[in-house]
Structure 1
Amino acid sequence: MATVLKKRLLLCLETNLIKMNSYNSLLEKIEHAKDLDFSNLIDSVIELFKKLWLKGFLVVLLMVGFAIVINVLFSLIGLAPKNNLPYGGFDMESFFSFYSETVIYSIPQTILMSTITMALIAAFYRICKQYVLGEEVVDDYFYFLKKAYFSKLLMLGIIHTAITVTAQFMFLIPYIYAFVPLAYFTVVFANNPDLSEVEIVKASFKLGNKKWLITFGTMFVAGLLGMLGLLGCGIGVLFTMSIVYLPVFFIYKEAVGFEDSSQIEQIGVNDDSDY
């Protein structure tokens, strides 16, 4: 019994040490990230989209489905955002009041939707990573909705919403700035699910700030390409919109790189054989 407890204690200490080293290593890689070429990034985004557009479409379809269900549920319990638009001409005070109420009433719904959206997109990034590394692609779109990850995603959803709401109250410029670091929450989490919520947020802002301009530029172009789906009677945007998630995936890939397997997972595998 004492031997088992000792092994578990050592495993816990080793796991915490690896987590710390993993976080420090991530920050170090971001700090020394190489300069990226805009045209090469766009080419990579388009090429991967052409190969994985169907999987991206399924992710977007799932997000739309969840959004409809959540909106209906919140409407039934009376927590849906109010849509009482001001009439009788434009009035700054009325507009600000409407804008503020809409943002505030949207908070619970936004938290839940942000959590689910990050889980689905993280699963999409996991599929993209498997494809890029030449591994067997496993189409598990609900991989990060498991109990082991959901509480962390929920906290990230709360942090994401808090930053978004604060930026929205400051109107356009702060929200545009915050949009880029926020976009990295999911890809950092997908590749480092063992990190704490605070570490994920710090790493996302560090990478977002360091690569802000090229991230904004590539996401803007990808957004324009995604909107081409509107030409297909509007519904075509469901097939093209997933391209907007690929720029941060490739920027993370080039700036940080991918690990073939988690060191923490390997510790668990190796130590299980001792029991």
Structure 2
Amino acid sequence: MEHPIFKKIENSKKIDFGDVLTQSYNLFLKIWQQGAMHTLIVMLFVIPFLILVYVPIIFMSFAAQRYSDPYYYEYGSDYGSAMDFSIPFIIIYFVVLFVLILIVQTISLGVNAHFYKVCRIVDMETGEPEGGYFDFFKNGGFVKIFVLSLATFGIAIAAILCCYLPIFYVMVPLQLILPIFTFNPKLSVNEIVKAAFKLGHKHWIYVFGLALIAGNVAQLGILACIVGFIFTACIVYLPIYFFYKNTIGFDDVTSTEVAEIE
């Protein structure tokens, strides 16, 4: 039996662009502190990841410069084969890099899913406890989010391989995957992706416009010595939250039910 969310998507109506932006601004004034905390938590995982990515690259670059110097080595039978070791190293590097990307993306999705839950609590003034930043990883949630992360990564790579143009289409459904998962955690990964593409296809131009405007506004924080981005980064999620609210809605779901994952 098809999940009710698909019927809601079919019956969803066009949103008021201006209302969504106004609602997003008003909610940002209430939630910017929570947004900054979520951004900082994600950065705590992203920064070590970047270090792990770039340190080997710097090492390989430095090594390549040394190995290309004819005065660095004494001539011998192994001269000219000094870089042979780099082939297995590069293979291992990219395998580890792929795994790390998925892990960091999984953590980011889980933390930002909690931010969407906080948005709902503050917006609707339910008075419910916000819970922990990693609530969505409990009860098998990490595995589900990891699979969801793998699916989104695969979709994005497939779109890029198709001459880049499809990425402009799939970026809209990919934006909707997280709120659909957050407020419908019992859906399977396949159902979440299917619902995201169905909703994104129907309202593509609206979501694309909202994401474009919110993304540009969020970048303004960089002008404040980059530190300001910590406080403005959460803006990108707010229009998507209100888009979801105005198209699919929440019914009578509670934040406790939102945090439950099969």
Distance 1:81 1:157, change over 3 A: farther
Look up the equivalent residue of 2:187 and give its one-letter code.
L
The runs of 5 or more residues in structure 2 that have no matched partner are 62-90
Following TM superposition, by how much is the alpha carbon of 1:64 offset from its aligned partner in structure 2, in angstroms?
1.2
Say yes or no: does 1:112 pair with 2:103.
Answer: yes
The runs of 5 or more residues in structure 1 that have no matched partner are 1-19, 85-100, 269-275
Following TM superposition, by how much is the alpha carbon of 1:158 offset from its aligned partner in structure 2, in angstroms?
0.7
Look up the equivalent residue of 1:157 and give its one-letter code.
S
Q: How many residue pairs align between the two structures? A: 224
Distance 1:229 1:83 in 2: 34
Distance 1:82 1:167, change over 3 A: farther
Higher mean C-alpha displacement, 123-132 vs 166-175? 166-175
Distance 1:74 1:224, change over 3 A: closer
RMSD across aligned C-alpha pairs, in angstroms?
A: 2.6
Following TM superposition, by how much is the alpha carbon of 1:169 offset from its aligned partner in structure 2, in angstroms?
2.1
- Greater length-normalized contact order (CA 8 Å, ≥ 6 residues apart): 2
TM-score by length of 2: 0.78
Contact 1:26 1:203 in 2 (8 A): yes
Distance 1:223 1:82, change over 3 A: farther
Structure 2 match to 1:90: none
Contact 1:219 1:247 in 2 (8 A): yes
Contact 1:42 1:247 in 2 (8 A): yes
Structure 2 match to 1:260: 252
Structure 2 match to 1:44: 23
Structure 2 match to 1:61: 40
Higher mean C-alpha displacement, 147-156 vs 66-75? 66-75
Match of 2:192 among 195, 200, 222: 200
Structure 2 match to 1:191: 183
Which protein is richer in helix relative to its size? 1
Distance 1:261 1:62 in 2: 27
Distance 1:165 1:108, change over 3 A: farther
Task: Trace 1:135-150 onto structure 2 (pairs within 5 A).
Answer: 135-136=126-127, 137-150=129-142
Residue 133 of structure 2 aligns to a residue whose secondary structure is: coil
Say yes or no: does 1:133 pair with 2:112.
Answer: no
Following TM superposition, by how much is the alpha carbon of 1:81 offset from its aligned partner in structure 2, in angstroms?
11
TM-score by length of 1: 0.74
Instruction: Deviation per CA, 1:9-40: give whole Å up to 9, x if none.
Output: xxxxxxxxxxx46x2x1001111101111111
Considering only CA atoms, is the larger Rg found in Structure 1 or Structure 2? 2
Residue 252 of structure 2 aligns to a residue whose secondary structure is: coil
Following TM superposition, by how much is the alpha carbon of 1:65 offset from its aligned partner in structure 2, in angstroms?
1.1
Following TM superposition, by how much is the alpha carbon of 1:171 offset from its aligned partner in structure 2, in angstroms?
4.1
Distance 1:82 1:156, change over 3 A: farther
